[in-house]
Structure 1
Amino acid sequence: MKNVGEAPEAPARAPQEELATGERSTRNRVVRSILDHGPSTVTDLAGRLGLTQAAVRRHLDALVADDVVAPREQRVYGARTRGRPAKAFALTDCGRDAFDQSYDTLAADALRWIAQREGGEEAVIAFARARIAEQAG
């Protein structure tokens, strides 16, 4: 039973309707943008995708409901401005699994290959140290 004054629920869209209206492809663009750029605010996503903030919020609401993305409080450095703090939306494990992410497997295979053919564990350690020094510089 609804409370008086509550907004009516939007009817669930059929998958065919989502495809016909482009909803699914736009949601995929939102998710891909978060995957490529990391946790993002509504403003960030709207700017990158050329959408209105209202459209981005609508897609994010659906993605949160599907457990593809999750909101988190964005850290504020310095003086906080008025209003609610912006939320950054990040992919959930479920959302990340939807993309073919074979980078971890590739990296593990490369390290295994280095260890077996190029000097064992010492070569892997040398590689790790070189990467850390490169990123720190």
Structure 2
Amino acid sequence: MKNVGAAPVEELATRERSTRNRVARSILDHGPSTVADLAGRLRLTQAAVRRHLDSLVAENVVEAREKRVYGTRARGRPAKVFALTDCGRDAFDQSYDSLAVEALRWIERNAGGEAAVAAFARDRIEAQAGAY
């Protein structure tokens, strides 16, 4: 993840930024998550997760949403889930498009030329059309 803003020296010394990045990465990988979900996955206390989420919310990397409840809602404060914002998603270096293009070029060079790429494209179109 590209760091949003420069990390203060104390963050670098205490690894705060890397833990914060792990929290954001977990949300990216697993989708909107509760504090309990994140704490369990990252083996952190819920208090530590909340502290990092507060910073991520302040940096506009993550946003809190009310958790959907199916059926009768239990007592107490509604649970929140935390999801990446567009800004948060953009902060990760996602090069899926360039990886796909690179793979197609490799197939073209090493596995049958343009005909192989065209066959791959036809198979993908048929698979997607079948789903609809």
TM-score, with length taken from structure 2: 0.73
1:41 alignment partner in structure 2: 34
2:85 alignment partner in structure 1: 92
2:108 alignment partner in structure 1: none
* SS, match of residue 72 in structure 1: strand
Give the 3 Å change call, closer, same or farther, for CA 85–17 of structure 1 in structure 2.
Answer: same
Q: CA deviation at 1:102?
A: 1.0
2:20 alignment partner in structure 1: 27
Equivalent position amino acid for 2:59 in 1: D
* SS, match of residue 13 in structure 2: helix
2:72 alignment partner in structure 1: 79
Measured on the aligned residues, the alpha-carbon RMSD in Å equals 3.0
Separation in 1, partners of 2:20, 2:71: 33
Give the 3 Å change call, closer, same or farther, for CA 29–119 of structure 1 in structure 2.
Answer: closer
Equivalent position amino acid for 2:60 in 1: D
2:11 alignment partner in structure 1: 18
1:130 alignment partner in structure 2: 127
Name structure 2 gaps, 5 residues minimum.
1-6, 106-113
Deviation track 1:35-58 (CA, whole Å, cap 9, x = no partner) reads 111111101000001111111111
Q: CA deviation at 1:66?
A: 0.5
Q: CA deviation at 1:120?
A: 9.8
Separation in 1, partners of 2:71, 2:120: 43
Give the 3 Å change call, closer, same or farther, for CA 56–120 of structure 1 in structure 2.
Answer: closer
* SS, match of residue 64 in structure 2: strand
Q: CA deviation at 1:97?
A: 1.5
Q: CA deviation at 1:124?
A: 4.3
Equivalent position amino acid for 1:54 in 2: A
What fraction of aligned residue pairs are identical, expressed as a percent? 68
Q: CA deviation at 1:118?
A: 4.7
Corresponding residue pairs, total: 120
Separation in 1, partners of 2:115, 2:73: 52
The answer to whether residue 56 in structure 2 is matched with residue 59 in structure 1 is no
